[in-house]
A = this chain, B = another copy of it.
């Protein structure tokens, strides 16, 4: 991870003849990005992001998560499990200014990357996605994942339940930064797989995953026992 600890310097602007460019030319659009492990303080933003994801997937009617249920299940007090041993959320933040230097952490040191964009990003919701007191920082996305297990490999992997980049930030490589952070952590831990499911109509996501080298498991389909069908098993009687 050391390679990402220090962001590369912004590129030198190409020399431009002074006579043809007015002084008001856009100064370039550098955006600094950081991925860190979420804490219970992020619950209001995680909640908003989940509901935006549900709307994007046209599944808002299925989205019952509340701030209280997320806090109780993702950040169990008084002893939440260490990151990566259970449900884990990475938060993606962006800022027009560099993030402060990384303080190494035995669990996970935040990841930094500098993006150079052709156009500035207009984010109408930036004021409601401010994390804490860093006033130029905006939450731009998240990924929620947890360990799964392959009996065939005889080893754990990670399953990505949700990966979401807010609409104004899409198509810039932030999604790849998030999935890469999970895959890099899997490799660091010696895990054998990273898996997720994709909606068959989400062509952008499918194209994105193919570019990453992810295989489609053609012969498998997902089954789910939920609601009344699950409650019917409340008492063990076969």
Instruction: State the Cβ distance, A42 to closest chain B Cβ, in Å.
Output: 13
Interface residues of A in 166-198 (CB under 8 A from B): 173, 176-177, 180-181, 183-184, 186-188, 192-198
Interface size class of A (residues with CB under 8 A): 35 or more
Tell me, in angstroms, the Cα distance from A215 to B229 when the chains sit together.
9
A154 within 8 A of B: yes
Instruction: State the Cβ distance, A127 to closest chain B Cβ, in Å.
Output: 24
Question: Do most interface residues of chain A lie in helix, strand or loop, or is the interface mixed?
Answer: mixed
Asked if B224 contacts A215 (CB within 8 A), the reply is yes
Interface residues of A in 141-155 (CB under 8 A from B): 144, 146-155
Question: Chain A residues in contact with chain B, CB under 8 A?
Answer: 1, 3-4, 50, 53-54, 59, 62-66, 69-70, 73-74, 81, 85-87, 111, 113, 144, 146-157, 159, 161-162, 173, 176-177, 180-181, 183-184, 186-188, 192-201, 209, 212-226, 228-238
